[in-house]
Amino acid sequence: MTSKAWASDLSGLLAESTDAAVVIGASGGIGGALLQALEDVRPAGQVIGFSRSSEGGLDLLDEATIKEAAASIRRRGVTLRLLIVATGVLETGATRAEKSLRELDPTSMLRMFQLNTVGPALVLKHFLSLVPRKGRSVAVCLSARVGSIGDNRLGGWYSYRASKTALNQLIKTASVELARKAPDAVLAALHPGTVDTPLTQPFAKTGLDVQAPDVAAGRLLRVIAGLQTADTGGFFDHKGMRIEW
C-alpha cells in the first residue's frame, strides 16, 4: 500500500467532523510522529493527542487521569474511529533491561509492568467503551517482537519481554470482548521495529534497520490502514507481517 493509499484510507476512517483519532503517548518519539502524520493527512475528523504533558495530563500510573481523558473525548461528542497506544519503557532510572536472572529486581519489574502492561490495559478499559457499535474502527497498542515467546531465541530483557507478552495477551483477550460489542472493530498489537528514540538509543546496534520516527510512523499507519476485521486480536510488525505469539 502506497503512502497515498494509506493516507486516503485513514482519511476515510476520519471522514466526518465528528470522527476522532486519539494517540496516547503523543509526546514520545513514535507517538509524536504518529500524531503529526495523522494531522498531515488533514482528515475531516479530529486528531487528539494525550500524554503526561498534554492539557489535563494522562499518566499511565494514575487511572483517574486515564478515565478523565476518555471522559473528555465523550464530552466532545465525537466517535472514536482510531486509537493508538504508543507508550512503553525499556531502561530508565526506575526500570532495567536485565541480561540475567541475577539482575532481577522486584521494584524495577513492577514498574515495568505498570507502564508497559497495566497502563495500556487501563487505556483500553476506558477508551474502548467509546468505540462505535457499527462501522469501521481500529485500535492498536505498540508492543514489541521480543514479547513473542515463540521468537525468543536470545533471552535477556526479562521484565521488558514479559511485560510485552502480557500486553499481547490482554490485547488478544480484549479483542474477543470487543468483537461481541463492535463486530466491525479491529484491535491489534503492533511491533514498530527499532526506532531512533530515547528508548532504543542505548541498545541500537550496527546493522539494525534503525528508523527515524517519521519513517516508523508512516510504516505503522500503512499497516493500520490495511487491517481488516479478520485481523483483530493479531500481532503484526511494521511491514504488516504476522508475528508468532
CATH assignment of the domain containing 84:
3.40.50.720
Banded model confidence at residue 156, pLDDT cuts 50, 70, 90: very high
**Number of domains present in the structure of the chain:** 1
Top pLDDT among 210 and 129 is at: 129
Which pLDDT score, from 0 to 100, does residue 216 have?
Answer: 92
In a domain, 14, yes or no: yes
- Residue numbers of the domain that contains 54: 3-237
Residue 243 placed within a domain? no
Name the band, by pLDDT with cuts 50, 70 and 90, for residue 53.
confident
Does residue 60 belong to any structural domain of this protein?
yes
> Average pLDDT of 35-45?
92
Is residue 242 domain-resident? no
Asked if 194 and 210 touch (Cβ cutoff 8 Å), the reply is: yes
The strand pair at 185-191 and 235-237 is best described as parallel
- Within a domain: 211: yes
The pLDDT of 86-94, averaged and rounded, is 90
Please list, in sequence order, all residues whose beta carbon lies within 8 angstroms of the beta carbon of residue 28, skipping any fewer than 6 positions away.
51, 86, 87, 197
How far is Cα 119 from Cα 121, in angstroms, rounded to an integer? 5
Residue 245 lies in a domain: no
Return the pLDDT at 3: 61
CA 30 to chain centre: 10
Residue 97: all three cell numbers together: 533491561
Residue 151 inside a domain? The answer is yes
Q: Can you give the pTM of this predicted structure?
A: 0.92
Nearest to 200 by CA among 121, 52, 88: 88
| Segment 112-134 mean pLDDT | 98
Looking at residue 104, its pLDDT comes to 96
Between 35-44, 119-128, 181-190, the lowest mean confidence (pLDDT) is in: 35-44
pLDDT of residue 183: 98
Spatial distance between the Cα atoms of 26 and 43, rounded to a whole number of angstroms: 18
Q: Say what the pLDDT of residue 21 is.
A: 97
Distance in angstroms (rounded) separating the CA atoms of residues 37 and 214 = 7
- Each residue's pLDDT tens digit, 186-245: 999 999 998 776 655 565 555 567 778 899 999 999 999 999 999 999 999 999 999 999
Nearest Cα to Cα of residue 106 among 95, 117, 122, 121: 95
pLDDT of residue 82: 98
Q: Residue 73: pLDDT band by 50, 70, 90 thresholds?
A: very high
CA 132/CA 134 separation, integer angstroms: 5
